[in-house]
Every structure is written in C-alpha cells, then in structure tokens.
Amino acid sequence: MSKKIGMIVGSLRKDSYNKLVAETVAKMLPEGFEAEFVEIGDLPFYNEDLETENPPKSWVRLRNQVKALDGVFFFTPEYNRSLPAAIANVVDVASRPYGQNVLDNKPAVVFSASQGGIGGFGANHHLRQSLVFVNMPVLAQPEAYLGSIMDDVGEDGEIIPETRAYLQSILDAYFDMFTRVTMAV
C-alpha cells in the first residue's frame, strides 16, 4: 500500500509556478509513495465562531484528507515578504479545534518558488515557523528556494533538468528524514 504525500499549493493562480513545481515533484516521488493534491481555494478563513457541530464542509473535507496523509509538501509563493493567506489558513483550519491537530507529527517540507532572486525566503521561513509550532517535523536542509523561477521553466513549459536535479536532492533528504521520523513513532 502506497504512502500518501499531500501536495498543498499556496498559490491559487491557474498557471502558478508553485503549482508547476508541485506537479513536477509529484512525478518524482519514489516507488511506494503517491501524491495527493489538497484543494485549498474553497476554504473559508478560519473563524472559531464557525467551529460548531456543523463546521464548513470544506474544513471537514480538508481535515479528513490531511488526517489520512503520511507526509505533507507545501509549495508557497512569497507575498509581501511572507506567505499567502490561503496557505496560512490551511495551517489554521487543519490544526484546530484545540486538541484535534491533523498536522501533528506529519513530516513536512516547504518549497518556495518566486520570480524574485531570493526564492521566497521570507514565505518559506514564516511557514516553517508555523509548521514547527503545530508539531510537524520539517526538513531543514537542503532548503528549497527556487528564485527566478521563470528561468527554471523550459520552452516546453516543464521544469528544466538542472532544477529537477536540485528538486531530487531535496526529495532524497526529505525521504531520509521521513524514514527516521516514522520509524521513531
């Protein structure tokens, strides 16, 4: 039975670079792992007043989907030197209500792709900080920044081989960490 890796893309844009990176990484997962894309565009912002016996259906769907995952890959652009509200909202919805955090102890990695030269450094670190707080083991090294992402896309619309090699090094490190974390549980 394959292990499921959740793919959470923080950019909701149809032609998002982060979505392209996520789709590329999904094809690169090793044998025994399958990618599962998690829809986040339909989530109302977290509001504890909505945390009733009948919370929003999209919250319930997200929580159930994330609960069934074995690990999570986050792909985030950088908005104003931080992460997009859509991806912050995922962390809020999935980690609540108190005591029902479905992100707990799921190994994670944060990829950030940006048209800017520093590759979404701010968004990457802000997101990692939140993930550590919700008790997700997060890959620290190598860091997954993809700056000037438009230069990493070939004329065919695919991520170029040199960048795929970089992504492979991140995957290798992640799955080493994944094995250590899941063996310890």
What is the CB-side half-sphere exposure of residue 27 using CA atoms within 13 A?
8
In this prediction, residues 85-104 reach a mean pLDDT of: 97
Average pLDDT, the chain: 96
Percent of the chain with pLDDT over 90: 91
Separation of alpha carbons 11 and 83, rounded Å: 10
Q: What pTM does this model have?
A: 0.96
Q: pLDDT at residue 119 above 90?
A: no
Residue 185 has pLDDT above 70, yes or no: no
CATH top-level class of 3-184? alpha beta
Please give the Cα distance from 24 to 50 (Å, whole number): 36
Residue 142 to residue 30: CA distance in whole angstroms: 18
**Domain definitions of the chain by residue range:** 3-184
Q: What is the pLDDT of residues 42-70, one digit of tens each?
A: 999 999 999 999 999 999 999 999 999 99
